[in-house]
Amino acid sequence: MPHIEIDGRELDVAAGTTILEAARQLGIYIPVFCYHPKLSIAANCRMCLVDVEKQWKPLPACATPCADGMKIQTRSAKAKAAQQGVLEFLLINHPLDCPVCDQGGECPLQDITMGYANPHSFYQEEKRVVADKDIGPLIATEMTRCIQCTRCVRFGQEIGGIMELGVVGRGEKEAISTYVAKAVSSELSGNMIDLCPVGALTSKPFRYKARSWELKHTPSLCPHCSTGCNTDVQSLGKDVLRVLPRANESVNEEWICDKGRFAYAGLAASDRGQTPLLRVNGSLQPASWAEALEVAAAGLEHLIQKHGPQAIAALISPNSSNEELFLFQALFRALGVAHIEHRLRQTDFRADAAMPLYPALNMSLEDLERERTVLLCHAFPREQQPLTNHRLRKAALAGAEIYAINTVLREFNFPVQGIFSETGNDLGLYQRLEELLRGATAQSHEGALARLATALRTAEDPLLLIGNDALQHPR
């Protein structure tokens, strides 16, 4: 265990700990642009240069592992001169866009410039200009602001699992690009906005709507799937202007999917119902909430008096909050209604008796990363639960065998051994898998299914994840 000293403070660290990680353990701030704890180390911004005793030049703190006896200075004249020089170099081509940049007020480049920049620059030449890229309807680009930290590139490759952005050119002509003219399509692409330290990537739906310090922050949970990602809903007055992730390592780490990030725009959609509508003489007419509730209550009362509460079925969306679900069932149970349901798309309920009262994953999302054998039964978590899919991707990259049975060819972002059946043969495929698990001899054309059966038989604790397509199957 190396024993080191940073700014006169001694510390024992685990082998392999970098200077930056050790400094953070002591609460010592070292400025960074390219470094992020969830991404690989690039060490290309050089902002974290520190003075290490017996080293003739400053070293990048993010990429230098601690050695026993090492003495580091983060605020020595040598370190400060290096940091000032790097920052001046990064600012050479950066435009003075702060008054109109959406990153203003929450910009690492602004903050670090205030704390570390030399107030006088020797550079008098013209700044370079980089053409903006249209990478889709969600992310706005101002590539002249880019400092080539490559956070967005590394996120796409390492977290998103798709190489959509990359570095082209060299030297002064270096730029972030899509290689070919196409949009960024990752379901996690909005996280690149959060990662960008300079305002080169910003949110198109939020653009020019408000300054960060004007917004009210409300902690919440994403309602769009059962993963339960932690979110920070930011509003101005009565309007929700953006949704950002809240860090929770056991659930969503520090990411959210694009649906969770941008679906708030539907709150202000022009075709969204804003007021209750009552049918009058065959046409729908706007009404007040009091009028609508009075008519609904009268209708329920009349129906119960005439046919009894057994004539009523109460249906509610499964995307409703726990509070809404509780109040909904409490209301209708008080009326004597027994038929209350949220499984609106499920058609076969024969397994209800064997199902637990509260069906759940029964394991933490973090445990998914340690699974060794996984079978996806008509499930496509990349679309249905992107942050759960992120955990499965980490398991796959760690060597897990993941199999998928489906009737649709899906594009996974991790290695999957797919077994596809013709539409209408789903049940037969699962029945044949059961036979193979019981010891039946596989036919020559059943190689993939036989390998799956062998993997499930030999696995210590295989995991089966059942998707909506299976739950909604008529049989």
Q: At residue 376, what are phi and psi to the nearest 5 degrees?
A: -100, 110
Predicted local confidence at residue 422, as pLDDT: 61
Query: Pairing relation of β-strands 313-315 and 339-341?
Result: parallel
Note whether 25 and 143 are same-domain residues: no
DSSP 3-state helix, strand, coil percentages of the chain (rounded to 5)? 30, 20, 50
Note whether 332 and 380 are same-domain residues: no
User: Under 8 Å CB-to-CB from 326, ≥6 apart: which residues?
Assistant: none
Note whether 323 and 420 are same-domain residues: no
Among candidate residues 204, 199, 202, 237, the one with its CA nearest the CA of residue 218 = 237
- Pair 192, 201: CB distance under 8 Å: yes
Handedness of CA 98, 99, 104, 110 (dihedral sign): positive
Q: Which token pair is 38?
A: 């969830």
Beta bridge partners of 49: 60
User: Under 8 Å CB-to-CB from 51, ≥6 apart: which residues?
Assistant: 58, 72, 73, 74, 76, 78, 79, 82
Q: How far apart are CA 239 and CA 220, in angstroms?
A: 16
Note whether 141 and 260 are same-domain residues: yes
Note whether 19 and 80 are same-domain residues: yes
Note whether 133 and 253 are same-domain residues: yes
Q: How far apart are CA 13 and CA 60, in angstroms?
A: 18
User: Under 8 Å CB-to-CB from 371, ≥6 apart: which residues?
Assistant: 395, 400, 463
Q: Does residue 464 belong to any structural domain of this protein?
A: yes
Q: Does residue 255 belong to any structural domain of this protein?
A: yes
Q: Does residue 97 belong to any structural domain of this protein?
A: no
Q: Does residue 136 belong to any structural domain of this protein?
A: yes
Predicted local confidence at residue 158, as pLDDT: 95
Q: How far apart are CA 251 and CA 243, in angstroms?
A: 17
Note whether 11 and 51 are same-domain residues: yes
Q: Does residue 99 belong to any structural domain of this protein?
A: no
Question: Could you tell me the mean pLDDT of each successive run of 10 residues in the chain, 475 residues long?
Answer: 93 94 96 96 95 94 95 95 93 91 94 88 84 91 94 95 88 83 88 96 95 96 92 96 96 96 92 89 92 94 94 92 93 94 84 78 90 92 94 94 87 85 72 84 76 88 86 71
Note whether 132 and 261 are same-domain residues: yes
User: Under 8 Å CB-to-CB from 241, ≥6 apart: which residues?
Assistant: 206, 209, 210, 215, 234, 235
Q: Does residue 307 belong to any structural domain of this protein?
A: yes
CATH number assigned to the domain comprising residue 438: 3.40.228.10
Query: Into how many domains does the chain fold?
Result: 4
Predicted local confidence at residue 140, as pLDDT: 95
Predicted local confidence at residue 475, as pLDDT: 67
Predicted local confidence at residue 474, as pLDDT: 67
Note whether 395 and 313 are same-domain residues: no
Q: Does residue 454 belong to any structural domain of this protein?
A: yes
For residue 62, count other CB atoms closer than 10 A to its CB. 26
Q: Does residue 357 belong to any structural domain of this protein?
A: no
Q: How far apart are CA 10 and CA 17, in angstroms?
A: 14
- Name the domain boundary from 64, 91, 118: 91
Predicted local confidence at residue 159, as pLDDT: 95
Task: Give the residue numbers spanning the domain of 26.
Answer: 3-91
Note whether 222 and 320 are same-domain residues: no
CATH number assigned to the domain comprising residue 62: 3.10.20.740
CATH number assigned to the domain comprising residue 201: 3.30.70.20
Note whether 384 and 326 are same-domain residues: no
Note whether 306 and 394 are same-domain residues: no
- Name the domain boundary from 39, 62, 91: 91
Q: How far apart are CA 78 and CA 56, in angstroms?
A: 10
Give the DSSP per-residue string, 34-87.
Answer: S--TTS-----S-TTEEEETT-SS-EETTT-B--TT-EEESSSHHHHHHHHHHH
